[in-house]
């Protein structure tokens, strides 16, 4: 059983070069759409979120600048213009949220086979001293304790030397004061 040869719509001749190029371009575009990197998708998602925040800020700015028709004369053209801008921003915001949803779904689809890492492991946190001490082994904590003790001893000696220098400076100041006062009395 043999299969009949495929007959092209061009009567057995290969398709024209222009159509071949179009088919190749379509195949490349389809391949590029499948090969979208998850990191690139995340970047696109980040930019989309930034656009959403920007549009939202612009919406609030427009709302703040709009005057309520509470008996105050207002220009209908200005009001209609601002209302049109507001509706356009809301429409764009809706489009951006749809785009963000598509990016989110595609990222989840790409990451479906990966082992999930619990978020607690991704977030660094500060530990208190007691938990740090428990986590360290005895070999690691001894040098740190000794080093800390040495630092405390050096600081204590430094304070003592500073106190001695202060006393010497006070004695010199008093001596100079006495010499100056004796010279002042003689002259």
Q: What SS3 class is residue 141?
A: helix
Check residue 115 and give its pLDDT.
Answer: 74
What pTM value is reported for the model? 0.44
Range of the structural domain that residue 78 is part of? 38-186
Q: Does any domain span residue 160? A: yes
Tell me if 130 is assigned to some domain. yes
Q: What is the largest CA-CA distance in the chain?
A: 138
- pLDDT per position as a tens digit, 110-133: 887 777 777 777 777 776 555 555
* Domain total of the chain: 1
Per-residue model confidence as pLDDT tens digits over 80-98: 888 888 899 999 999 999 9
Report if residue 99 sits inside a domain.
yes
Render pLDDT for 99-111 as a digit per residue (tens, 0 to 9). Answer: 999 999 988 888 8
Is residue 17 in some structural domain?
no
Q: Are 109 and 61 in contact (CB under 8 A)?
A: no
């Amino acid at each position: 059983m043999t299969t009949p040869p495929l007959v092209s719509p061009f009567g057995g001749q290969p398709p024209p070069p222009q159509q071949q190029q179009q088919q190749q371009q379509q195949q490349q575009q389809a391949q590029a759409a499948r090969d979208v990197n998850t990191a690139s998708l995340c970047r696109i998602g980040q930019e989309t979120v930034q656009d959403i925040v920007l549009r939202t800020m612009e919406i609030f700015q427009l709302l703040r600048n709009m005057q309520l028709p509470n008996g105050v004369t207002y220009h209908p053209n200005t009001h209609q213009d601002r209302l049109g801008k507001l509706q356009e921003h809301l429409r764009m915001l809706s489009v951006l949220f749809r785009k963000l949803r598509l990016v989110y779904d595609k990222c989840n689809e790409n990451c479906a086979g990966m082992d999930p890492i619990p978020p607690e492991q991704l977030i660094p946190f500060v530990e208190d001293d007691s938990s740090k001490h428990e986590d360290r082994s005895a070999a690691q904590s001894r040098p740190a304790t000794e080093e800390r003790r040495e630092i405390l001893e050096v600081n204590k000696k430094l304070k003592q030397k500073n106190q001695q220098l202060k006393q010497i400076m006070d004695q010199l100041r008093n001596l100079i004061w006495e010499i100056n006062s004796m010279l002042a009395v003689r002259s």
